Structure 1
Amino acid sequence: MSEQAVILHVRPAPAPDGGGSPPLADRLDRPVRTASSTDAALGVLTETDVAAVVCDHAPEDGLDGLAALEAIRADCPSLPAVLATDEPDGRVAAEATRLGVSEYVPRSEVDPADRVRELVRGARAPRCRGPANGNSSETTRRCNG
């Protein structure tokens, strides 16, 4: 049996809510890999199969979730993606929509874990696969869907 594809959570090193809410991994029934930068997120995409991504948009904490989403979309355009902010922000929601986000989630209204569960439910969810032929030095990622 193959390993379950992970959820990639792109968030600043300190959690945007100061660590007040449980980690995403505690609220999902599948493995979660965390990356604290766009480059680190792209690295995870080269190493492992990813079922979906959650990008926190927390520019005050040094993470531009929109930039991370844009870079991830360039490699895996059909990978389910959630962009999360602490509070609703129309400008961020509009830009996320332009970038092809699957869901925009203000944490004050919806738990991102709930949206991710819905996005990856079912066997036909697109996912971004790690390197072809199992060669971890290869940077080519493949997205199926």
Structure 2
Amino acid sequence: MSPPRLPLTRALVDVLAAGTGRPCGLTVLPRATDGRPAAYPYLILDSLPGEFSGPSFADWHADVAWTYQATSVGERADQVQWLGDRVRDVLFDRAPGGWRTDIPVAGMQVIGRELSYDADGEAVDGSQGSIVTYVQRFTITVTPAA
């Protein structure tokens, strides 16, 4: 059996929200503490298909690479580009000896991070200028913790 995905997904939501300082919803619009929709800008994290490598699926020691999409949503292009910059900083900035931001996941160790798609500074106008989005896709590879 491969490592479960949900703990990593929840850890990413938490890391992105804390690291960017903006709300992050899991496949849905994030909510403020009073239950109302979060103020712009915010993130929506979606899980995409993953890949398995190493031993058979029945072996807990298999490495898994899961792909995610972070969509920055705002009212203006500068908001979503700023938030896209923060996502890159949180997930991909390096420090001496490793990543700047840890992604703590019980029972797993993050062994790889790869940004596979970035909107390249181009915000997408999704609805005649009222909502603007910026898409980034990345893959996180995990292995069971020793």
State the TM-score, normalizing by the size of structure 1. Answer: 0.31
More helix by share: 1
Structure showing greater Rg: 2
